[in-house]
Amino acid sequence: MSGLKINDISMRFDLPNGGSVQALKNVTLDIKKGELLSILGPSGCGKTTLLNIVAGFLAPTEGQTILNDKKVEGPSLERGMVFQQGALFEWMSVRKNVSFGPDMKGMPKAESKIIVDRLLDIVGLQEFKEKAVYELSGGMQQRVALARCLANDPDVILMDEPLGALDALTREKMQGLVLKLWKETGKTIILITHSVEEALLLGERLIVMAPRPGRIHKEYRLPFAELGVGKDLREVKKHKDFGKTREEILTMIWDMEEEIMGRTESAA
Amino acid sequence: MSILLIYIMIFLGCMIGYKLVSGFLTKEHDYTSLKTVTFGDESSVESNRPASIMSIIAIFFIWGSFTGSTIVPSFLHVPGAFTGEVSLPYEAKNDAGSTANGQINILVFPNGENPSVEPIDAGTGFAKSEAVKVQAYRSALISQSDLLPDGGAQITSIAGKPIAPGDEFSIDQGLVRMTDKGSIAFEPYKGWQMEPIWLPAPESVVTRFFDLAQNGYQNVTLWENLYWSLYRVLVGFFLGSIVGIPLGYAMGLNSWFRGWFDPIVEFMRPVPPLALIPLIIIWFGIWETGKISLLFLAALWIMVIAARAGVSGVRISKIHAAYSLGASKWQILKNVIVPNSLPDIFTGARVAMGVCWGTVVAAELVAAEKGAGKMIIAASKFQNTDIVLTGIILIGIIGYGIDIMMRVAEKYLIPWKGKG
Ligand SMILES: Nc1ncnc2c1ncn2[C@@H]1O[C@H](COP(=O)(O)OP(=O)(O)OP(=O)(O)O)[C@@H](O)[C@H]1O
Ligand SMILES: [Mg+2]
């Protein structure tokens, strides 16, 4: 069966002082091919840890990740990553960054050129092709990161707060772009965010995680991503369920944060 | 002391003068000039170009003024040493109680000249007249037996002033002293200017530079000397880099390498290369092998540390991204780690070049057949201060030139520096 299975994953970090942090506990997720999944949760609930495990950068203490019936053992090009910022190669031009994956595979220049040109058209950076990445704005840099990831044609795209460092306006535009790319390419996308609105807009399915130990708290199935494709996202936000769900999730996360605060206060 | 005071006065004078003058000039209205908080805001403190220019002029001014240089108008010279003629009439008394008058003519001539003395009629009395010459800054001694050859007589006054053995007095042109044995010593006034053997005038350094450029020194041309110094620096630096950079990479990438070499590197890093010279001489001798080994060691640790810092400085998300894009370890090394470490390596190379340049000159001072350091140490033995100064200035210019070249190269080769 094709798809991504996160199978009963637990992650415990042993600390140098002898203690340990249970970053994840018994997390199980079944993600269908082509699904758009957003993950939300208070800071420190293990979102990045989970994504790093799926990407293969970390081995979980228990459980396993299975992609297309194969166990994930390490990073590989069927699982692409988009980071918050600073993961582009500043010594390469925009074009070189995007063709990094194909180049590493040893793809002939003529072939990779077609891929790169098509992706730069999609993200709207054709005219910045030969520019150095540090000459680009933050939003443009994230578009390069998206294109670079897509150039390898991965099965799954993992995004850890990809739009977190952008201003509100650019962020909204980029959310539209992510939806467009999702629809056009049919990729499985897992997106971590701190913004409840973004999670609602960019998640067919939304997972709310709870901390200590990091676990899945609640799951939603949402219509907004489908509705938003190619539309003005501000219209989608006016949908009657949007506000309601947002309030519900915000309250949920608030309660979790409150609980953490209370716990640390009583500990002190 | 007086030089320091003059320097401080020039500094303050230029600063206040510039403030006054620039107050009348049209103000620039760039971003920095509009800042109201500047004290403590490092970014608003730019190097003041006119101040730098005035600083250089001030140095040449003081240098010229204290050496009586032609580049400074003569009314701005500090008082120089006396040159010219002094006449000292004297009176002597013999045992019989009779007196006689004689005269001492002293010609004080400037350094580098050698005039002939106009003879003077010795006179008829028992006190003879005498003409002598003496170079500026030296002192003349006129023995009693020349002035009073008959013996049994004593000089009682000079230039109208009574004098006895051991006495001394000043006149405008210098100091007159009678030794215990009755001879007359004259020390011409030395003034405030430096004797050329301590500090030659700027123009004589320039002249010497052209002389060295054409004729060399001790059968070695200037260019040969500089070439040898540069050659040693480049070879030592090159060897240090080709060993140091891979070692630094290995230390940044592998914990066994890091553990193994950390104690060595951390121990060797604070040892100044000059402190190794004695050991190097014992091991390799001081000739070419010794000097190159020394420079190799000087560059090695700096390059190791720079390469290690370059590897450690790579953002983990870049490495993760490269792995997720399907790069192998070698591809990551070549396409991510190496380019990412280049800024650090370049900074290290700049430091290493500076240290090597300083070390080579010092090593050549100890022993060498050719080289900038050898030239100045040989010249200093013969008190050819102008050659020493020329050499020091050239060493400074070359060191500065190397640094500027490295900076320009850095700008072109790694434009992404600090932009990550
Ligand atoms: N290398 C590590 N060593 C020890 N503890 C770690 C390590 N990495 C993460 N943790 C701990 O695991 C927990 C989860 O961290 P994680 O970075 O996954 O949180 P997050 O949900 O991504 O937070 P944020 O929203 O702030 O990015 C935290 O309590 C953190 O302190
Ligand atoms: Mg995180």
Identify whether A267 is part of a domain.
no
Q: Supply B177's token pair.
A: 């002293």
Q: B-chain residues within 8 Å CB-CB of A75?
A: 320, 323-324
Q: Supply A261's token pair.
A: 């605060």
Measured in residues, chain A has a length of 268
Specify the pLDDT at position A97: 93
Identify whether A258 is part of a domain.
no
Quote the ligand 2 centre to B329 CA distance (angstroms).
Answer: 26
**Cα–Cα distance for residue pair A153/A112, rounded to 1 Å:** 12
Q: Domain containing A25: what range?
A: 4-198
Specify the pLDDT at position B247: 96
Mean pLDDT of chain B: 88
pLDDT reading at B77 higher than 70: yes
Q: Which residues contact A198 (CB under 8 A, 6 or more apart)?
A: A38, A163, A171, A175, A191
Highest mean pLDDT among B80-89, B193-202, B211-220, B252-261: B252-261
Please judge whether B320 and A81 are an interchain contact, meaning their C-beta atoms are less than 8 angstroms apart.
yes
The residue that leads in pLDDT, B24 or B394, is B394
Dump strand ranges (E) for chain A. Answer: 4-14, 20-31, 36-40, 62-67, 70-71, 79-82, 156-160, 188-192, 205-210, 215-221
Mean pLDDT, to the nearest integer, of B71-91? Answer: 87
Identify whether A250 is part of a domain.
no
Identify whether A209 is part of a domain.
no
Quote the ligand 1 centre to A49 CA distance (angstroms).
Answer: 6
**Cα–Cα distance for residue pair B297/A137, rounded to 1 Å:** 44
Identify whether A83 is part of a domain.
yes
CATH topology of domain B202-413: MetI-like fold (1.10.3720)
Identity of the residue in B323, B336, B419 whose CB atom sits nearest the CB atom of A134: B419
Q: Supply A159's token pair.
A: 């995004």
Identify whether A93 is part of a domain.
yes
Strands A79-82 and A156-160: parallel
**Cα–Cα distance for residue pair A75/A58, rounded to 1 Å:** 9
The band of B346, judged by pLDDT with boundaries at 50, 70 and 90, is very high
**Cα–Cα distance for residue pair A41/B121, rounded to 1 Å:** 115
Specify the pLDDT at position A210: 87
Q: What is the pLDDT of residues A203-239, one digit of tens each?
A: 889 999 988 888 888 888 888 777 778 778 788 778 8
Quote the ligand 2 centre to A165 CA distance (angstroms).
Answer: 13
Q: What is the pLDDT of residues B129-145, one digit of tens each?
A: 888 889 888 888 888 88
Please judge whether A87 and B339 are an interchain contact, meaning their C-beta atoms are less than 8 angstroms apart.
no
Strands B184-188 and A188-192: unpaired
Using an 8 Å Cβ cutoff, are B58 and B46 in contact? no
B336: Cα separation from own chain's centroid: 45
Identify whether A244 is part of a domain.
no
Buried b (16+ CB within 10 A) or exposed e, B343-375: bbbbbbbbbbbbbbbbbbbebbbbbbebbbbbb
Please judge whether B339 and A105 are an interchain contact, meaning their C-beta atoms are less than 8 angstroms apart.
no
The vertex-B78 CA angle with B72 and B82, nearest 5°, equals 115
**Cα–Cα distance for residue pair A110/B103, rounded to 1 Å:** 105
Q: Supply B230's token pair.
A: 């540069």
**Cα–Cα distance for residue pair B129/B46, rounded to 1 Å:** 68
How many separate domains does chain A show? 1
Identify whether A19 is part of a domain.
yes
Q: Which residues contact B48 (CB under 8 A, 6 or more apart)?
A: none
Helices (DSSP H) in A229-268: which residue ranges? 233-237, 240-267
CATH number, domain with residue A20:
3.40.50.300
Give A130→chain B minimum CA distance, Å.
14
Q: B-chain residues within 8 Å CB-CB of A79?
A: 324
Q: Which residue has the tokens 């992650």?
A: A11
Specify the pLDDT at position B32: 65
**Residue A58 forms contact with B (CB below 8 Å):** no
| Residue of B315, B325, B331, B340 to mutate, testing the A interface (most A Cβ within 10 Å of its Cβ) | B325
Tally Cβ neighbours within 10 Å of residue A265. 8
Which DSSP helix (H) or strand (E) runs through A118?
helix A109-123
Specify the pLDDT at position B100: 87
Q: Which of A45, A83, A191 to mutate to test the pocket of ligand 1 (most atoms within 8 A of CB)?
A: A45
Cite the residue boundaries of each domain of chain B with CATH code 1.10.3720.10.
Answer: 202-413
Q: What is the pLDDT of residues A117-167, one digit of tens each?
A: 999 988 888 899 899 998 888 889 988 998 999 998 898 999 998 888 888
Please judge whether B416 and A148 are an interchain contact, meaning their C-beta atoms are less than 8 angstroms apart.
no
pLDDT reading at A1 higher than 60: no
**Cα–Cα distance for residue pair A125/A139, rounded to 1 Å:** 11
Mean pLDDT, to the nearest integer, of B228-254? Answer: 94
Q: Supply B248's token pair.
A: 């630094």
> B84 has which bridge partners?
B108
Using an 8 Å Cβ cutoff, are B371 and B294 in contact? no
Please judge whether A77 and B419 are an interchain contact, meaning their C-beta atoms are less than 8 angstroms apart.
no
**Cα–Cα distance for residue pair B305/B293, rounded to 1 Å:** 19
Measured in residues, chain B has a length of 420
Specify the pLDDT at position B199: 87
Using an 8 Å Cβ cutoff, are A138 and A85 in contact? yes
The band of B341, judged by pLDDT with boundaries at 50, 70 and 90, is very high
Highest mean pLDDT among A40-44, A252-256, B50-54: B50-54
CA closest to B340 among chain A residues: A91
Q: Which among A51, A54, A60, A45 has a CA at the least distance from the CA of A83?
A: A51
The vertex-B415 CA angle with B410 and B418, nearest 5°, equals 95
Q: What is the pLDDT of residues A158-203, one digit of tens each?
A: 999 888 888 888 888 888 888 888 888 888 999 999 888 889 888 8
pLDDT reading at B109 higher than 60: yes
For residue B233, how many C-alpha atoms fall within 13 Å in the half-sphere facing its CB? 28
CB of residue A64 inside a 6 A radius of ligand 1: no
The band of A264, judged by pLDDT with boundaries at 50, 70 and 90, is low
Q: Supply A97's token pair.
A: 């960054």
DSSP string for B266-281: HHHTTS-GGGGHHHHH
Q: Supply B296's token pair.
A: 């190799």
What percent of chain B has pLDDT above 70?
A: 96
pLDDT reading at B86 higher than 70: yes
Using an 8 Å Cβ cutoff, are B69 and B199 in contact? no
